[in-house]
Amino acid sequence: MNVRETWPELPIGTAITCVKIDPHGEYVTSYPTEVIEAGAPEPWIAVRARWKNKLVQQGPVTFMPGDTLHEFFSPAHPFNLFSVNSSDGELRGWYANVTYPTVVEQAGDEIRLFWHDLYLDVVAVPSGEIEVLDEDELAESGLLARDPELHAQIIAAKDELVRRAKAHEFPFHEK
């Protein structure tokens, strides 16, 4: 799949507003990013964002104010990933979200990237520790009974993320 077939052309430096949607389809947050070169193969794109929120600990990964995130999104894959780097460039770890494939929309001069979160997250640190987060939220959602096919897709995406993290395969490629 070619990104240009599904997304507008997104050259390096293009400003994009990322919009996070929760599992129920509700808006969570939006934030500014810009397209960067970070080793993303097609159909992936990479954007850079700054962590402006308070300190957050998610499993073994810490997000601190001033951190730089390299975020990787795909119109064809059921997950995204953020590599979390300290303000001095040290890699803290990776935070991956199981999602629907990413959607990009252009309205006039504004480009918005929508990522629709689907409960599970996989976090990893350079030392090799990997943790799956929010399995309790998925279980409590009732999705297994309501939509077993989507539930199975979420589990398969989580399994693929864990496999990639263990092998340090893209998008767990930055060092």
**Within 10 Å of residue 115's Cβ, how many Cβ atoms?**
21
Assess if residue 159 is contained within a domain: yes
Assess if residue 80 is contained within a domain: yes
- Whole-model pTM: value is 0.94
Q: Please say whether the dihedral angle defined by the alpha carbons of residues 77, 90, 53 and 11, taken in this order, is positive or negative.
A: negative
Residue closest to 63 by CA, chosen among 87, 38, 29? 87
Assess if residue 78 is contained within a domain: yes
Query: Structural domain tally of the chain?
Result: 1
Each residue's pLDDT tens digit, 122-141: 999 999 999 999 999 999 99
Q: In which band, very low, low, confident or very high, does the pLDDT at 9 lie, cut at 50, 70 and 90?
A: confident
Higher pLDDT: 113 or 4? It is: 113
Report how far residue 110's alpha carbon sits from residue 112's, in angstroms, rounded to the nearest whole number.
6
Assess if residue 174 is contained within a domain: no
Assess if residue 172 is contained within a domain: no
End-to-end Cα distance, the chain: 27
Assess if residue 142 is contained within a domain: yes
Assess if residue 173 is contained within a domain: no
Which structural domain, as residue segments, surrounds residue 144? Answer: 3-167
Each residue's pLDDT tens digit, 83-127: 999 989 999 999 999 999 999 999 888 999 999 999 999 999 999
Assess if residue 64 is contained within a domain: yes
Report how far residue 86's alpha carbon sits from residue 126's, in angstroms, rounded to the nearest whole number.
13
Domain containing residue 79: CATH number: 2.40.380.10
